[in-house]
Amino acid sequence: MNVTKSSKFALITITISLLLMGFARPTQDIFSDFESAIAGGNANKFAKYLSSSVELELPGEVEGIYSKQQTIVIMNRFFDKYPPSSFKLVHRGSSASGSKFAVGDYTTGEEKTFRVTVFVKKQGELYLIQEIEFE
């Protein structure tokens, strides 16, 4: 098989692009799924991204470190009390330590708005949610 320089270059370019997309995608999926789940008021939809323990802060509700299952129950209770009318991520970033975060605005049916911050950290091959904070 005769492979030209341009064919080799194209193959290398495609391979590198696919690799880079694979590395960039896990965090993006977490934040997209998180945004969708919060907008729908359903913690079960982002449960697969929760770490085994999550630092959780909800105004007037709870503040502490909870198991994955406790976090889901507490978050769904919060959504029942403050049903979402909208949720939009407005900022994403990362820290020098490799953690990533996203900040969004959660508006309830009562037109009350909470600032939401979610922090994720790589554990093994996956990024998992370490902290969720509603202010």
Q: Of 71, 26, 33, nearest to 50 (Cα)?
A: 71
Q: What is the reported pLDDT for 103?
A: 97
Q: What is the reported pLDDT for 67?
A: 97
Q: Of 86, 89, 91, nearest to 107 (Cα)?
A: 86
Answer yes or no: are the C-beta atoms of 97 and 113 closer than 8 Å.
Answer: no
Per-residue pLDDT of the chain (135 residues; tens, 9 = 90+): 555 666 665 555 555 554 444 444 445 578 999 999 999 999 999 999 999 999 999 988 789 999 999 999 999 999 999 999 999 999 999 988 889 999 999 999 877 999 999 999 998 888 999 999 999
DSSP state of 53: E
Scanning the structure block, which residue is given the tokens 């049903």? 83
Answer yes or no: are the C-beta atoms of 110 and 97 closer than 8 Å.
Answer: no
Q: What is the reported pLDDT for 98?
A: 82
First to last CA, the chain: 62
103 phi and psi, to 5 degrees? Answer: -125, 135
DSSP state of 82: S
Q: Which amino acid is at 10?
A: A
Distance in angstroms (rounded) separating the CA atoms of residues 118 and 123: 16
**Matching CATH number, 5-134, of 3.40.50.1260, 3.10.450.50, 3.90.1170.50, 3.40.50.620:** 3.10.450.50
Helix count and strand count (H, E) for the chain = 2, 6
Distance in angstroms (rounded) separating the CA atoms of residues 45 and 134: 18
